[in-house]
């Protein structure tokens, strides 16, 4: 079957492609490489107006004429490569702004896709209207909207989230839902808000190609090594400020027992290499389930502080602290968990083994590809 995956977010589509190819399908991934992370795609669209004089020019043109130069560039690249966007059996969009253009141009590109392919599906991965609205309405106990509602940072730092509640993005959301054959969630943070929608086909856990992540049993000698990777653009959204406060609390009494490695906004290939030697990885606070960085670290045998809420434990029938540590939005509680692990190194080893086994069982990329294919074809017609 000929399949087109549009957009990229933490290699979810590229990894899914690897699983689908293993099943015998012809697959192309088109995207922007997920920004500074430089994720791998087959056809890479570029946004030329992102820095220096070009960024200044983009801002001036938008202010004067309300025209977005990056969106116009993506539109041009799309139609230069329009044969890719025709004649596919399945097209899946990574989220509601897969091309990262303004809504008017996004609709134009999607209209071409809807008219020239058999079936189009939407993946709820990253932010979109449904998940943001659910979070902003405070239906989660805490969420990516919590730092915004607590007025941490400035408005610009949350624009990537709040934009989905603007009228033009709400209109884009309804347009997409009227034309897709269904929507699939990539983890529980997107699954929970979608429950009850007639278009919702269910969740397929994030795919991980385990052959790329070698498991190493933790060796704890003098110090416990803690890795903290910071994406500057998502500093408050990921709860990095809370992790830094927790690390400061631990250092007050256990500085001689820990080594903290902190990196900021590095490309994916470098990031994945830099945490190789750590025992504990601090991923994110405001989540119920794990994203790709957490899963890949778990596959390597790291003890990850991430989303592992009660809903996650119930869904996968797990015990608390069995495969990951639930990072609550409370620096004191995170510090207490870190100290517990420092005092109980055998727990680090136990959780490490469980984490790898969990990813193998639930997130294998070929298993994920099979699950996606079943959802894409469940109503026949393919």
Domain 2-207+364-376: which topology?
A: Rossmann fold (3.40.50)
Within 8 A by CB and 6+ apart from 6, the residues are 13, 30, 31, 91, 92, 93, 94, 98, 99, 113
Q: Where in the chain is the domain with CATH 3.40.50.2000?
A: 211-362
pLDDT value at position 11? 86
Summarize the confidence of residues 348-371 as an average pLDDT: 98
pLDDT in tens, 24-73: 999 999 988 545 445 577 898 988 888 898 888 888 888 888 888 999 99
Please state, for a pLDDT cut of 70, what percent of the chain lies above it.
97
Report d(CA 104, CA 91) in Å as an integer: 20
Sheet arrangement for strand 200-203: 43-44, 26-31, 2-6, 90-93, 119-124, 183-185, 200-203
* pTM for this model (two decimals): 0.92
Q: How far apart are CA 373 and CA 370, in angstroms?
A: 5
Average pLDDT over residues 314-323: 98
* pLDDT over 90 percentage in the chain: 81
CATH classification of 211-362 is 3.90.25.10, yes or no? no
CB atoms within 10 A of CB 277: 12
The average pLDDT across 340-365 equals 98
Mean pLDDT across the stretch 312-337? 98
Average of per-residue pLDDT across 181-204? 97
pLDDT reported for residue 36: 46
pLDDT at 381: 45
pLDDT top residue among 33 and 22: 22
- Scored b (16 or more CB within 10 A) or e, 93-102 reads bbbbbbbbbb
Per-residue model confidence as pLDDT tens digits over 76-128: 999 999 999 999 999 999 999 999 999 999 999 999 999 999 999 999 998 99
Reply yes or no on whether the pLDDT at 148 is more than 50: yes
């Amino acid at each position: 079957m000929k399949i087109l995956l549009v957009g990229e977010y933490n290699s979810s589509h590229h990894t899914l492609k690897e699983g689908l190819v293993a099943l015998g399908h012809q697959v192309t991934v088109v995207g922007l490489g997920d920004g500074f992370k430089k994720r791998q795609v087959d056809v890479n669209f570029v946004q030329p107006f992102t820095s220096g004089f070009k960024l200044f020019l983009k801002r001036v043109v938008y202010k004067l004429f309300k025209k977005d130069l990056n969106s116009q560039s993506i539109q041009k690249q799309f139609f230069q490569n329009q044969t890719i966007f025709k004649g596919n059996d399945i097209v899946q969009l990574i989220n509601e702004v897969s091309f990262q253009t303004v809504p008017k141009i996004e609709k134009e590109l999607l209209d071409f896709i809807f008219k020239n392919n058999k079936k189009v599906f939407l993946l709820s991965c990253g932010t979109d209207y449904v998940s943001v609205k659910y979070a902003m309405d405070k239906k989660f106990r805490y969420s990516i909207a919590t730092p915004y509602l607590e007025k941490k940072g400035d408005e610009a730092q949350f624009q990537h989230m709040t934009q989905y509640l603007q009228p033009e993005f709400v209109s884009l959301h309804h347009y997409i839902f009227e034309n897709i054959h269904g929507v699939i969630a990539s983890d529980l943070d997107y699954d929970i808000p979608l429950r009850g929608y007639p278009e919702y086909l269910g969740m397929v856990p994030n795919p991980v190609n385990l052959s790329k992540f070698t498991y190493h049993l933790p060796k704890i000698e003098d110090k416990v090594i803690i890795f903290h990777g910071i994406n500057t653009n998502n500093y408050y959204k990921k709860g990095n400020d809370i992790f830094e406060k927790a690390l400061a609390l631990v250092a007050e009494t256990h500085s001689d027992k820990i080594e903290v490695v902190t990196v900021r906004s590095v490309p994916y290939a470098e990031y994945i290499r830099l945490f190789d030697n750590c025992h504990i990885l601090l991923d994110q606070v405001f989540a119920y389930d794990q994203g790709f960085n957490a899963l890949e670290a778990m596959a390597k045998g790291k003890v990850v502080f991430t989303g592992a809420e009660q809903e996650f434990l119930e869904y996968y029938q797990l015990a608390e602290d069995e495969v990951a540590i639930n990072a609550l939005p409370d620096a004191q509680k995170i510090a207490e968990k870190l100290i517990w692990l420092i005092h109980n190194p055998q727990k680090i080893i136990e959780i490490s083994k469980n984490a790898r086994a969990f990813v193998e069982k639930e997130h294998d990329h070929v298993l994920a590809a099979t699950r996606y294919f079943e959802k894409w074809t469940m109503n026949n017609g393919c």
